[in-house]
Amino acid sequence: MNDSQINQEQILDALRVVIDPDLHRDIVALGFVKELKVRNNRVSFHLELTTPACPVKDELREQAEDAVRKLPGIEAVEVTLSAQVRSHGPTGQNIIPGIKNVIPVGSGKGGVGKSTVSANLAVALAETGASVGLMDADVYGPSIPTILGINDQPRSGGKGMLPVEAHGVKVISAGFFVKPDQAVVWRGPMLAKMIEQFLGQVEWGELDYLVVDLPPGTGDVQLTLCQRIPLTGALIVTTPQPVAVNIAEKAIIMFNQLKCPLLGVVENMSYWESRTTGEREFIFGSGGADRIAEKWEVPVLGKIPLATTVRESSDSGTPIVLDEAGSPAAVAFVDTAKSLAAQISIRNIRAESEGLVSINF
């Protein structure tokens, strides 16, 4: 057997057994296998995933290696991983051409941790190697500069202004331009103008993900954002109280009306976990996100514990995913970021393949 030469076709065939668990298709059909080289039964290739935040990237690599190794006569297999984030829709439609995905983060009311979640998810995505922007559009309570420890103002440049870089994320905040007590009396057209400037006059550059921290509730900011640019999908942040459904529902209904799909729901302040016993206490009740998920058929992307360290890290300007990496709350945020990235990939792959003829898998 040893002198028979394996060819590329045989290798691709063997790799078809490896199925991406989120996208439900094999890695060959998905076009993940790149730069396949075979020489003297030594094989090397690239797996180009749809996000560097892929929750199962190590499993996929191992399965791909194993599948090729099983072929007769193979002497060595080398698999390298890379990622190319897929874009939401044709970028020509986008008024910000370099931005592949825009993800608004909304909630029915304030104080549920929308900004904390937005900031930690953005930083967690950037930590995986993705290029990430964060637009703080909460004119009534812009807290992103505090959470990310930003003291600088944006400088002028490019199309108008350059975002401020913090913890690997490009940031523009309403807080750079307005005092919250001013914004309370802003009328719709002024809010709309600010959002349009954030979209059209900020030199975002190439971004895989632009996370948008929206004001709570439903209003002109949400309306402008949804009407001006194609959005990949919204993330809803809720707390665990059973009544949270009614509150989060306002935001969900708004996104539905504005034809913005829902990527999922995050339950913040979900539980408190004792450091000594590991026991969980459900201080604010439980079931909020699950109820929303069931009623609106959206996935729960994560449940974040209530932890003093989350607040302390935010107040000190270094989000917990960096400040206490590896802590239960940080891990919950990182896992949530990966689930979010997976949902984005699922949507974009589905949209891409809707135009395809037929694929056998």
Ligand X SMILES: Nc1ncnc2c1ncn2[C@@H]1O[C@H](COP(=O)(O)OP(=O)(O)O)[C@@H](O)[C@H]1O
- Point out which residues bind ligand X (CB under 6 A): 107, 110-116, 143, 268-269, 304, 306-307, 310-311, 314
Which among Mg ion, ligand X, none contacts residue 269 (Cβ within 5 to 8 A by kind)? ligand X
Min dist CB 82 to ligand X, Å, is 33
Min dist CB 173 to Mg ion, Å, is 11
Min dist CB 142 to Mg ion, Å, is 8
Strand ranges inside the chain, DSSP E: 19-20, 25-26, 33-39, 42-49, 76-83, 102-106, 132-136, 155-157, 160-162, 164-166, 169-173, 209-213, 234-238, 262-267, 272-273, 280-281, 300-303
* Closer CB to Mg ion, 6 or 251, in the complex: 251
Min dist CB 263 to ligand X, Å, is 18
* Closer CB to Mg ion, 138 or 220, in the complex: 138
The angle formed by the CA atoms of residues 236, 343 and 141, to the nearest 5 degrees, is 30
Going by C-alpha positions, the residue among 249, 263, 336 that lies closest to residue 301 is 336
Q: Are strands 164-166 and 169-173 parallel, antiparallel or unpaired?
A: antiparallel
Which among Mg ion, ligand X, none contacts residue 307 (Cβ within 5 to 8 A by kind)? ligand X
Q: Which stretch binds Mg ion (CB under 5 A): 50-58, 109-117, 149-157, 255-263?
A: 109-117
Min dist CB 109 to ligand X, Å, is 8
* Closer CB to Mg ion, 115 or 318, in the complex: 115
Residue 115 touches Mg ion, criterion: CB under 5 A: yes
| Residue that is written with structure tokens 């370099």 in the block | 98
Burial environment of residue 278 by CB neighbours within 10 A (0 to 12, 13 to 18, 19 or more): exposed
Which among Mg ion, ligand X, none contacts residue 238 (Cβ within 5 to 8 A by kind)? none
* Closer CB to Mg ion, 52 or 133, in the complex: 133
Q: What is the DSSP letter of 202?
A: B
On whether the CB atoms of residues 17 and 316 are closer than 8 A, the answer is no
